[in-house]
Amino acid sequence: MSKYQKLAQEIVKEIGGAENITELTHCVTRLRFHLKDDSIPNDEVIKNMDGVVTVVRSGGQYQVVIGNQVSEVYGEVNVFAKRSEGALNDTKETKAKKKKPLDAFIDVISGLFQPILGILCAAGMLKGFNTLFSTLGVYSADSGTYMVINAMGDALFMFLPVFLGYTSAIKFKVQPFIGLLIGLAMCYPAIQLDALAGSREPLYTLFSGSVLDSPVYLDLFGIPLISMNYTSTVLPIIIVVYFASKVQNILDKIVPSVIKFFMVPMVTVLVSLSLGFLLIGPVASYASELIAQGILAVRETSPLFAGFLLGLLWQVLIVFGLHWGIVPLYINNMTTMGYDTIMASVFATSFSQMAIVIAIIIKTKDKNLKALGIPAAISALFGITEPVVYGITLPRKKLFIMSCIVSGVAGGFYGLYNLREFTFGGLGVFEFLTMIDPNEPGVANIMIAVIGVVFAMIVSFGLTLVMFKDENKEPKTKEVQNTVIESSTSKKHTMFSPMDGEIFSIKEVKDEAFSQELLGKGIAIRPSTGVLSAPFDGKVVTLFPTKHAVGLVSDEGMEILIHVGFNTVRLKGKHFEAFVQEGDIVKKGQKMVVFDKEAIEKEGFSLETPIIVTNTFDYLEVIETKATILNAGEVLLTGLL
């Protein structure tokens, strides 16, 4: 019995057996189960097992915290669950069991931000310290130093849809560069509403005179396109990339392989972005305008309730990209009245978020969470809350909701006592400077702001200490110290070597189309014999007339191209003999092509054979064998999903 068999057997037994498991994955420290009936497991029994750190129920998952040896335990659990590794993710029960809509939404949003949290914190700190140094007079706000450093920090926030386009593409299994292109297109300067409104007159206006008054500056295929500012938004890019995933899936099934390489990305981008621009712009514009008008109407009746409502909803509006309709009200108030009371209502929001993070930093034993929390708190001090919201509070939705409620109460207080901002200025702690009344010397207005901030911070800090529970304790056992790579899934597709020979990197081949991985990731072989065999069970989709190149798709869905030699197309089939044809079903190891190795080399042709995974972007990673010599039938490449 191996080291972890007994532990795995006990875990499977206590969670209700294999029949109660619908999905199993693992991350760096924990097993993550989706169970049919999560009332079956006895938490205390599992917690007390030798080798288990603790048990966590979170996000619809039953999580058993193991520690560094989680990958070994995971493999044994799969055995005792009587399923092959990765099969748990494919059960019908998993597909049928869905998370609550709110849980699913938060899981998607927070998951898309996880890969960029580090640079998000870095960018926020750059912006904050840049403002600090300019305020202290180290350099002026119109100096070149300020502008360049501001560009360093602000670039990520301005072009956030580009980063989210990439992470969304990975999440929804779209080619990552399609996601990047969609994000870039949505941030293209010339089509942003501010740029259009400042450079041209509208073609015409829809719903003129109503609350939905919409100037139209562009049309698309003759259809009115209602513009919006997509820079810095979150939800629009996610929606468009999700739709792109559906378009790509359809196209993958119907577009011929010969033109799929460029046709699928082109049509996917064209269709998804066209519908995105035509539909998302109007929906977001109308929704934000209606919200703004609603807030304005409520404020005329009850400043207290309007302040509460705006403080309560502000972070939610930002997540959905619906806050833009309120910003013009703020600008209009500043330019016409010389002060604003609407945006002042949300002043305490960033301080509430900061207090939550400070409490977590104090309470948590998770070193990674502390490392994320410190720069996130600094960013929040300067009014930049994205690192806090997307990295810490939104994934822990109770803390996010608590912060919204506390900010709402502070906003109601600000509305009741008519907190005002008198100038455009910085965010966070620097926003205090905008509250100095130039006409009435004194600190009364600032004291109102301070009281709201102190209230928000004390309440948020205290409630977090009560509500927050550390989910990532240090492992009690330290038998294994090797690093485990986090994986959202254990599913993989494997390709075996189609020939005997010497293995080397695809980047070393002489043809740039292969060496620069323009056709996809892969590997190369210097064959020692003249037999090309099927590398998996699958289908021959392409056999070049010259028989030197074969395209196949495995039963699992891996698409590959095997190109025997360089410039061997010039042989026009000479020295090659095919034993399959297009459309044939092949089995792993089946002879497909035989070539006369000596004769081909004698004619001066290299037989270095690139093997390319042409649907590389369907995989999170394509892993090459570390071997330098392989026989046909041994593992060559693995695609991780």
Cross-strand partners of 531? 594
* Residues 242-246, mean pLDDT to the nearest whole number: 93
**Does the pLDDT value for residue 519 go beyond 80?**
no
Query: What is the three-class DSSP state of 640?
Result: strand
C-beta of residue 633 within 8 angstroms of C-beta of residue 497:
yes
- Check residue 122 and give its pLDDT: 83
| Whether the domain at 5-98 and the domain at 492-640 fall into the same CATH topology | no
- pTM of the entire predicted model: 0.52
Structure tokens at 290: 């209606």
Structure tokens at 633: 């039938």
Q: Which of 27, 121, 187, 404 is catalytic?
A: 27
* Residues 477-484, mean pLDDT to the nearest whole number: 35
Cross-strand partners of 554? 538
Burial bucket for residue 442 (CB in 10 Å: 0-12, 13-18, 19+):
exposed
Torsion of CA 226, 231, 235, 241, to 10 degrees: 90
Sign of CA dihedral 258, 261, 266, 269: positive
Give the CATH H-level superfamily of domain 5-98.
Glucose permease domain IIB (3.30.1360.60)
Write the pLDDT tens digit of every residue in 270-312: 999 999 999 876 787 677 777 777 877 888 889 999 899 999 9
Write the pLDDT tens digit of every residue in 449-466: 999 999 999 999 999 999
Across the chain, mean pLDDT equals: 83
Write the pLDDT tens digit of every residue in 415-438: 999 998 887 777 888 888 888 887
Instruction: Give the DSSP per-residue string, 573-602.
Output: TTTEEES--TT-EE-TT-EEEEE-HHHHHH
* Residues 343-362, mean pLDDT to the nearest whole number: 93
**Confidence class of residue 403 from pLDDT cuts 50, 70 and 90?**
very high
- Check residue 321 and give its pLDDT: 63
Q: What crossing angle do the helices spanning 160-171 and 176-186 adopt, rounded to 10°?
A: 150
- Alpha-carbon distance of 588 to 576, in angstroms, equals 20
- Alpha-carbon distance of 203 to 184, in angstroms, equals 25
Query: What is the three-class DSSP state of 390?
Result: helix
Structure tokens at 347: 């002043």
Query: What is the three-class DSSP state of 425?
Result: coil
Which residue shows structure tokens 């061997």?
568
- Alpha-carbon distance of 129 to 134, in angstroms, equals 8
**Does the pLDDT value for residue 218 go beyond 90?**
yes
Write the pLDDT tens digit of every residue in 88-118: 444 444 444 455 676 677 667 766 776 787 7
Highest mean pLDDT among 114-128, 311-325, 587-601: 587-601
Find the distance separating the first CA and the last CA of the chain, reported in whole Å. 31
Write the pLDDT tens digit of every residue in 149-176: 999 988 998 998 999 999 898 888 888 8
Using alpha carbons, select from 541, 606, 535, 548 the residue that is nearest to residue 577: 548
Of 143-157, 472-486, 502-516, 604-618, minimum mean pLDDT range = 472-486
* 341 secondary structure, DSSP code: S
Neighbours of 464 (CB within 10 A): 24
**Confidence class of residue 553 from pLDDT cuts 50, 70 and 90?**
very high
- Alpha-carbon distance of 56 to 605, in angstroms, equals 61
**Confidence class of residue 80 from pLDDT cuts 50, 70 and 90?**
confident
Q: Calculate what percentage of the chain has a pLDDT beyond 70.
A: 87
Q: Number of C-alpha atoms within 13 angstroms, CB side, residue 533?
A: 20
- Alpha-carbon distance of 20 to 37, in angstroms, equals 7
The residues spanned by each domain of the chain are: 5-98, 159-300, 302-477, 492-640
404 flagged as catalytic: no
Q: What crossing angle do the helices spanning 257-301 and 176-186 adopt, rounded to 10°?
A: 40
- Check residue 241 and give its pLDDT: 94
Using alpha carbons, select from 178, 144, 288 the residue that is nearest to residue 230: 288
Region of residue 221 (phi > 0: left; psi between -120 and 50: alpha; otherwise: beta): left
- For 171, the enclosing helix (H) or strand (E) is helix 160-171
Of 325-334, 345-354, 517-526, 592-601, minimum mean pLDDT range = 325-334
**Does the pLDDT value for residue 59 go beyond 70?**
no
- Alpha-carbon distance of 596 to 600, in angstroms, equals 6
Let me know if domain 492-640 sits in CATH 3.30.300.30.
no
Q: Which residues contact 376 (CB under 8 A, 6 or more apart)?
A: 121, 124, 357, 387, 388, 391, 392
- Alpha-carbon distance of 536 to 553, in angstroms, equals 9
C-beta of residue 351 within 8 angstroms of C-beta of residue 377:
no
